[in-house]
Structures are given as structure tokens and as C-alpha cells.
């Protein structure tokens, strides 16, 4: 199978389109308005700007932190208009420099205020680029009306001259199969093999005895992003959408913390002390109830959740607001609930952290 997939790479050169990888420049800012801190992670990709805004209450009360994703462009005078894609319209209009970002922040249609932020100088040895690749494969290549499978990847990866030490951990994070048997191993090889596997599965549907295969197309998309950079740590987010039939497609979010010192993605065992899962579950449950506006004795099951106590997920990362935990559809609640995110402020979990991380956070405050 691997030999076939390797030869299938030749077809991918024909059926896929590679946009030249674009380097990403990061700038991070911090500001304050009334009783809240605002942390901004700017990502400059060509003429595009992607910004993630974390809102953190000064009192660090659980259930009150949040974040938004904004996009826009910068003109020659560094003036930008940033907007969200979601149902709740959030915008930030202003001007950036190497030292500041000053502008009007609008968290809702009827609420706007001046928000000026200063640059946070954070050193990080890893440089990243955004890589885009897509490919397609018809179910019946000789039939112009044949349905097809379409796959695309828009990923944030370490730049090529740094990739040697990072290929394996990032390949694991993006869910790519091991290809140690191939003569050269690179991010590009992993991306091609992942695409080939998806397209091959689709093309093989036409060989089912007595069938012509599905009459609909398959779709798979994968987006990778950096949520925050914190000295040696890089918090990543991966969004995957797959449709291969059924009532609806499935969207899956994965979070991870890459540690440049150990060149690996950290697990809960690296972060938290042994035998603290029960305490973490209690904090996650309490925080979720506060986010929902419920009291501590409220039954989550009565609202439709699958359990009363929220389990500790390996799906988490570090943010300026604390540890962000993500639960996908069906993990703790029905599909109709969508995804659930819970932010645990650092003050809540300090006593549960491994000593080395506790010391790092104390010595690297913003």
C-alpha cells in the first residue's frame, strides 16, 4: 500500500496546487480597559492579518475569560480593520506600530471603546510559515460528470530550515501516518501521503462489487494555527472538517502545547502533578457551570450533558487567560450543543502544576 501511495505522489503533482509557503511574523500586545486585560496575538501573513484577542478579568474569576479571532488587512500606513467571522460581530479598527496598537474595539454592535495596547517582547526560537496545498480525485476519472473527493490543508509549520527536529512531533499533532520507509521525510511528504490516503479511499469506492460508488463528493479540510506564543511554548490549534456521507460532516478541534526546549508536544502528565485529575475535573466542572450562569449545585445532566463531572481532556493549551480545554461534539454533550471550551485561570491551578512549570510562570509574568 505504501509503495502505491508513494507512486501516487506523481498524480498529486498534477491534481494539486501548491501556493508558495508564506512566512508568518508574530507581534503580541497587551492592553487594559476598566477591569479587564486584553492580549492580542497578531499574525502577519503576506498582506493578511489574523489576530486572536484574549479577554482576561483582572480578578481572574473562573468563567469570565474569553477570546475572539479576527481577520483583516493592513494598508501602507499600518491602518487595519479587523472583523470576526462568527455570528457575534466583533471588530477592532486601529493602527499598529512596532511598539503599540491603538484603536477602537467593538465586542458587540452596541458597545465600543478606545483600547490601546503595548507590545509584549516575547522571545521564541521557532519561526513559522503558512503552507497551503489542495488536491482532488474523481471517482470515475473518465466520466466528466463524476463526483470527486476534495482535500485541502492550510497549516502553520516551522520553516523548512528548522523542520528537521520538528517533523515527527508536528506530524503526530496533525495526525499524519508514519512514513519512515520513504527515502526522505519532510512536512511536504507527510502532507502528500495524507492526501493520497484520503483520495485513494474515495477512488476505491468505485470498485465495490455491484456498485458504482457514492454519488456524492467527499470533502476534507485541515487548518492549523498558532493561538499564542509564550517563550519556549507555542500553543497550536488544528481544525479538521470531514464529510464522507451522512446527515452532516464532522468538525474536530485539537489543541496542543509545543515545547521548543524538549521538542515535543506536552501532555497533562508533563504539566500537572500526579493524582490531580479529580481536582482538575472539579475545577473544570465548576468553571463550566459559571460560564453557563449556573450555581455550583446545578445538574449538568439535567441540561443535556452526558455527565455531572467534566473529565480532564488531553485537548488543551496555554493562553494568557489560563489553560484552555476543548471538548468536541459528542465528547461531553450532544451534537446540537456544539463544541465546549473551558478556560481555567492560572490562579486556580497553580497548586496542581509541576514544579518546573510553576517556576517558569512565576519568572515569566507578562
Same domain, 273 and 259: no
110 with 134, same domain: the answer is no
Residue 51 phi/psi, 5° resolution?
Answer: -130, 135
Closest CA to 121 of 235, 258, 259, 28: 28
Q: What is the DSSP string of 136-198?
A: EEESSTT-TT--EEEEEEEEEEE-GGGGGGTHHHHHHHTTPPP-TTSS---HHHHHHHHHHHH
pLDDT tens for each residue of 160-189 = 766 678 888 999 999 986 665 554 578 888
Across the range 251-271, mean pLDDT stands at 94
Look at residue 137 and tell me whether its pLDDT is greater than 60. Answer: yes
Cα separation of 183 and 231, whole Å?
Answer: 34
The stretch 304-329 carries a mean pLDDT of 95
Average pLDDT of the segment spanning 255-266? 94
Q: Mean pLDDT lowest for which of 17-21, 58-62, 82-86, 122-126?
A: 17-21
| Mean pLDDT across 77-106 | 90
Instruction: Return the higher-pLDDT residue of 329 and 161.
Output: 329
3-state secondary structure of 117: strand
Task: Say whether pLDDT at 287 is over 80.
Answer: yes
Give yes or no for a contact between 67 and 321, defined as CB atoms under 8 angstroms apart.
Answer: yes
Residues 301 and 336 in one domain: yes
Q: Mean pLDDT over residues 298-320, rounded?
A: 94
CATH number of the domain residue 52 falls in:
2.40.128.120
Q: What is the pLDDT of residue 107?
A: 87
pLDDT, mean of residues 27-39: 94
Please tell me whether residues 309 and 228 are part of one structural domain: no
Of 265, 289, 304, the residue that ends a domain is: 265
pLDDT of residue 4: 47
Same domain for 307 and 351? yes
Q: Say if residue 132 is in the same domain as residue 14.
A: yes
Grid cell listed for 42:
497578531
State percent of the chain over pLDDT 70: 88
> Are residues 176 and 317 both part of a single domain?
no
pTM above 0.75, yes or no: yes
Q: How far apart are the first and last CA of the chain?
A: 51
261 or 61, higher pLDDT = 261
| Residue 210 clears pLDDT 50, i.e. is over it | no
Q: Which domain holds residue 56?
A: 22-120
CA separation for the pair 23, 26 (Å, rounded): 10
Q: What is the pLDDT of residues 221-249, one digit of tens each?
A: 999 999 999 889 999 999 999 998 877 88
What is the band of 16 on the pLDDT scale with cuts at 50, 70, 90? low
Res. 8 pLDDT band, cuts 50 70 90:
very low
Query: How much is the average pLDDT of 83-112?
Result: 89
CB 291 within 8 A of CB 364: no
Amino acid at each position: 500500500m505504501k509503495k502505491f501511495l508513494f507512486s501516487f505522489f506523481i498524480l498529486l503533482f498534477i491534481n494539486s496546487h501548491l501556493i508558495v509557503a508564506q512566512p508568518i511574523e508574530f507581534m503580541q500586545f497587551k492592553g487594559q480597559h476598566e477591569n479587564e486585560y486584553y492580549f492580542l496575538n497578531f499574525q502577519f501573513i503576506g498582506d493578511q492579518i489574523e489576530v486572536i484577542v484574549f479577554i482576561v478579568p483582572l480578578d481572574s474569576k473562573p468563567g469570565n475569560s474569553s477570546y475572539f479571532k479576527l481577520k483583516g488587512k493592513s494598508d501602507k500606513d499600518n491602518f487595519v480593520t479587523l472583523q470576526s467571522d462568527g455570528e457575534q460581530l466583533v471588530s477592532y479598527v486601529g493602527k499598529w506600530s512596532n511598539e503599540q496598537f491603538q484603536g477602537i474595539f467593538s465586542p458587540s454592535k452596541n458597545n465600543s471603546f478606545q483600547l490601546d495596547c503595548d507590545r509584549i517582547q516575547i522571545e521564541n526560537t521557532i519561526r513559522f510559515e503558512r503552507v497551503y496545498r489542495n488536491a482532488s480525485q474523481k471517482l470515475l476519472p473518465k466520466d466528466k460528470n463524476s463526483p470527486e473527493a476534495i482535500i485541502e490543508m492550510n497549516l502553520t509549520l516551522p520553516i523548512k530550515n528548522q523542520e528537521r527536529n520538528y517533523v515527527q512531533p508536528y506530524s503526530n499533532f496533525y495526525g499524519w501516518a508514519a512514513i519512515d520507509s520513504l527515502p526522505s521525510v519532510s512536512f511536504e511528504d507527510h502532507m502528500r501521503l495524507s492526501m493520497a490516503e484520503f483520495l485513494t479511499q474515495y477512488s476505491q469506492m468505485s470498485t465495490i462489487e455491484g456498485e458504482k460508488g457514492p454519488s456524492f463528493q467527499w470533502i476534507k479540510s485541515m487548518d492549523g494555527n498558532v493561538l499564542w506564543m509564550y517563550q519556549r511554548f507555542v500553543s497550536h490549534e488544528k481544525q479538521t472538517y470531514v464529510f464522507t456521507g451522512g446527515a452532516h460532516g464532522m468538525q474536530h478541534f485539537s489543541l496542543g502545547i509545543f515545547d521548543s526546549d524538549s521538542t515535543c508536544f506536552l501532555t497533562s502528565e508533563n504539566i500537572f502533578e500526579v493524582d490531580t485529575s479529580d481536582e482538575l475535573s472539579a475545577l473544570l466542572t465548576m468553571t463550566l457551570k459559571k460560564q453557563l450562569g449556573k450555581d455550583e449545585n446545578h445538574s449538568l445532566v439535567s441540561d443535556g450533558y452526558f455527565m455531572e463531572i467534566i473529565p480532564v481532556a488531553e485537548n488543551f493549551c496555554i493562553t494568557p487567560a489560563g489553560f484552555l480545554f476543548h471538548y468536541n461534539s459528542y465528547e461531553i454533550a450532544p451534537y446540537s450543543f456544539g463544541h465546549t471550551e473551558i478556560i481555567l485561570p492560572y490562579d486556580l491551578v497553580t497548586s496542581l502544576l509541576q514544579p518546573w512549570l510553576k517556576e517558569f510562570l512565576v519568572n515569566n509574568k507578562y
